[in-house]
Chain A
Amino acid sequence: MALLSVKDLSVKFVTRKATVRAVNGISFDLEAGGTLGIVGESGCGKSVSSLAMLGILPKPAGRVMRGEVNFDGVDLLKIPDSQLRQVRGKDIAMIFQDPMTSLNPVLTIGRQITESLRKHLDMSKDDAKKESISLLGRVGIPAAEDRIKDFPHQFSGGMRQRVMIAMAISCRPKILIADEPTTALDVTIQAQILDLLKHLVAEENMALILITHDLGVVAGTCERTNVMYAGRFVESATTSSLFARPRHPYTLGLLKSVPRLDAARKEKLEPIGGTPLSMTQDIEGCAFAPRCIYATDKSREETPELARIDSDDHLVACWNPVPDEDLPHVEVVATQAEGRTAR
């Protein structure tokens, strides 16, 4: 049985002005130690889905409409918050995009690490302190013993993200959700952080859900990648298949708009035309149809569901997927033993 099994998760935001359907029925499975990437543009609902899974949607606006989030046999959406708190931070941990604002400015980072340890693992003050020093060392922060007394503003951006990672893995979670962990960082630091995550995944046999808008980020880190648009998954495949045969027009568009080192000098970047739909109205047909060059009449009338294409573990939600001739056939360096991450 999969470690995490999400079925038909739907989330909406209710405000005075309008109701936004942020997530419209997503499903996926995650095995122990597997790595899953969720890719999509800002506002497609990718972050919201994780917040919903952990039960920390902003209240009172955020509401789960339906769905199941089965973790270790328990549906996280159905248990009371007091129970959920035992899972949060302990079995499932999350790190966020901006490490400067995501750390409490008035607490030492030592304190911020030990508070998880003491709460979830019932450690004594001294043990927790020792453990926090060792954790900082593991994430690559030098002079850890001195640094635990420091405050977040005394660290650089990359260091802060390492601190957040240390906090997250402190209780040896089974799943780590990383929401845009490198977006706020320099490119060189990005690579270091992603490397760190890969190492930790291997060392701890920890599953990873990596949420990002940047395809380049998932390329080296995730076995499988799901592409999200307007609150739904539009394509799900192994990362190498996704890059080699992106069957959904949106995925193809994403790939084409990313600058590549091996591209011909005069080759232009092709952005995806149009703007994302407002998610306040009910969408008829395929959400991507207005911007899609392959759209047909059926696309505009009926909403496509995820269906198998090419192989058993490549799914796409499209009435008129990208034909073979238009596929870019990009090679992606294989990451880890494929097949560990279920679809």
Chain B
Amino acid sequence: MLNYALRRVILTIPILLGLSIIVFAFVRALPGGPEIALLGERGTDEQQEQIREDLGLDQPVYVQYGRYMSNVLSGDLGSSTRTRQPIVEELKLKFPATFELSIAAMFFAILIGVPLGFIAAKRYQGLLDNTSLVLSLIGISFPVFFLALLLKYIFSIKLGLLPTIGRLDITRSLEHPTNFYVLDAIIAGDTAALGDALRHLVLPAVALGTIPLAIVARITRAAVLDVTSEDYVRTARAKGLDPRVIDRRHVLKNALLPVITIIGLQTGLLLTGAILTETVFAWPGVGSWMLEAIRFRDYAVLQGGILFFAVLIVFVNLLVDLSYAFLNPRIRYQ
């Protein structure tokens, strides 16, 4: 296991390196050159000079790359073209919002997706099975932003059941030590605020989590079907064990292994979904921030954001791989 873990971690390094090179090249290739791109049209000559020095644009490429990497590794991703705020600071502020939303979406996807997939598999080719298959296909056919708009229209605008935008009622005040509104409300012991924060979380989480839900349901179904036809389930039946025990100890324990991997791999989907969804609900996270960066040609934010997302995904994938290795005895005990 240790061997495997070490190898896996080491494998990550070339990928991270490759990513950094890609983003580095990206900045250099931006229209108008990095000075214009990173400073915007209004950049003064001084500022342009500064950038040229910072990036070492007159130096050979490898020196530029070196500068770039040392910047990144010391936590400096540059400043926004629009607001001139350091990108890392903005990330610290906005990421919790997206993170909270992603977790809620994942919760939604797993809480409904796994049982749904399981029951569909158990009642193979029954009504629930066929219905869930069709529904999950429809689910992955929706562009996430359309789903967000649709949900907002039905539940917020027409039915008025849930709030349209934001994370909290604007009239409500709450301390934000963690910037995770749900946690903040719990810390403050403010149940009304908690309820409010949760209500604001519902629609965006459902919109963001529907596609992962469809995928999780399908994979769970496939995994359970696979496992149920395995020889060791037949052995368990031959031992006269209770069907529920068989489901729990023999079927699910094995079927959930691949499902866990899939759940981890949804991160990419969640992050890109966030870019498309947050804006519909005016959710102040990294997603809507990226959208604005695109709209306003804020290339500094864009490259910082892309790098951040990509690195995050690589680490989550690493975590998923290691968890899988830990949970699967065949890898854990070599």
Q: Are A90 and B231 in contact (CB under 8 A)?
A: no
Q: Report how far A227 CA is from B249 CA in the complex, Å.
A: 38
Q: Are B232 and A102 in contact (CB under 8 A)?
A: yes
* Known contacts A96-B234, A96-B235; is-contact A106 B240 (Cβ 8 Å): no
Q: Report how far A43 CA is from B96 CA in the complex, Å.
A: 61
What 1/0 flags go to A80-95 for Cβ under 8 Å of B? 0000111111100110
* Known contacts A150-B333, A154-B333; is-contact A106 B238 (Cβ 8 Å): no
| A56 close to chain B: CB less than 8 A | yes
Q: Report how far A164 CA is from B239 CA in the complex, Å.
A: 11
* Known contacts A151-B329, A153-B329, A153-B330; is-contact A105 B239 (Cβ 8 Å): no
Of B232, B249, B254, most buried by chain A (CB within 10 Å of CB) is B232
Instruction: Chain B residues near A58: list those with CB within 8 A.
Output: 229
Q: How far is the CB of B129 from chain A (nearest CB, A)?
A: 13
Report the interface size for chain B: residues with CB under 8 A from the other chain.
Answer: 23
Instruction: Chain B residues near A94: list those with CB within 8 A.
Output: 238
Q: Are B238 and A104 in contact (CB under 8 A)?
A: no
Q: Are B254 and A102 in contact (CB under 8 A)?
A: no
* Known contacts A103-B232, A103-B235, A104-B232; is-contact A89 B241 (Cβ 8 Å): yes
Q: Are A115 and B239 in contact (CB under 8 A)?
A: yes
Q: Are A119 and B242 in contact (CB under 8 A)?
A: yes
Q: Are A96 and B231 in contact (CB under 8 A)?
A: yes
**Shortest Cβ distance from B232 into A: residue:** A104
Instruction: Chain A residues near B237: list those with CB within 8 A.
Output: 56, 88
Q: How far is the CB of B126 from chain A (nearest CB, A)?
A: 11
Which of A96, A102, A103, A120 lies in contact with B240, CB distance below 8 A?
A120
Q: Report how far A87 CA is from B249 CA in the complex, Å.
A: 21
Q: Are B238 and A93 in contact (CB under 8 A)?
A: yes
| A23 close to chain B: CB less than 8 A | no
Q: How far is the CB of A172 from chain B (nearest CB, A)?
A: 14
| A188 close to chain B: CB less than 8 A | no
| B250 close to chain A: CB less than 8 A | yes
| B230 close to chain A: CB less than 8 A | yes
| A269 close to chain B: CB less than 8 A | no
| A10 close to chain B: CB less than 8 A | no
What 1/0 flags go to A155-171 for Cβ under 8 Å of B? 00000000010010000
| B8 close to chain A: CB less than 8 A | no
What 1/0 flags go to A39-71 for Cβ under 8 Å of B? 000000000000000101010000000000000
* Known contacts A150-B333, A153-B330; is-contact A106 B239 (Cβ 8 Å): no
Q: Are B330 and A105 in contact (CB under 8 A)?
A: yes
Instruction: Chain A residues near B239: list those with CB within 8 A.
Output: 88-89, 93, 115-116, 119, 167
Q: Report how far A153 CA is from B253 CA in the complex, Å.
A: 16
Instruction: Chain B residues near A54: list those with CB within 8 A.
Output: 238
Q: Are B230 and A101 in contact (CB under 8 A)?
A: yes
* Known contacts A105-B330, A106-B254, A107-B253; is-contact A87 B240 (Cβ 8 Å): yes
* Known contacts A101-B230, A119-B242; is-contact A151 B333 (Cβ 8 Å): yes
| A131 close to chain B: CB less than 8 A | no
Instruction: Chain B residues near A153: list those with CB within 8 A.
Output: 329-330, 333
* Known contacts A96-B235, A153-B330; is-contact A104 B254 (Cβ 8 Å): yes
Instruction: Chain B residues near A84: list those with CB within 8 A.
Output: 240
| B85 close to chain A: CB less than 8 A | no
Instruction: Chain A residues near B328: list those with CB within 8 A.
Output: 106
Instruction: Chain B residues near A106: list those with CB within 8 A.
Output: 253-254, 257, 328-329
Q: Report how far A120 CA is from B238 CA in the complex, Å.
A: 13
| B202 close to chain A: CB less than 8 A | no
Instruction: Chain B residues near A103: list those with CB within 8 A.
Output: 232, 235
Instruction: Chain B residues near A8: list those with CB within 8 A.
Output: none
* Known contacts A96-B235, A101-B231, A115-B249; is-contact A85 B240 (Cβ 8 Å): yes
Q: Are A119 and B241 in contact (CB under 8 A)?
A: yes
Which of B230, B238, B254 lies in contact with A56, CB distance below 8 A?
B238
| B149 close to chain A: CB less than 8 A | no
Q: Are B232 and A89 in contact (CB under 8 A)?
A: no
* Known contacts A103-B235, A104-B254; is-contact A151 B241 (Cβ 8 Å): no
CB-defined A-B contacts under 8 Å, sample of 12: A54-B238, A85-B242, A88-B237, A88-B239, A94-B238, A101-B231, A102-B231, A103-B235, A104-B236, A106-B254, A151-B330, A164-B235
10 tightest A-B contacts by CB? A88-B240, A89-B240, A89-B239, A101-B231, A85-B240, A151-B329, A102-B231, A104-B232, A94-B238, A56-B237
- 8 new A-B contacts, CB < 8 A, other than A54-B238, A115-B241, A119-B240, are A58-B229, A94-B238, A96-B238, A104-B232, A104-B249, A115-B239, A151-B333, A167-B239
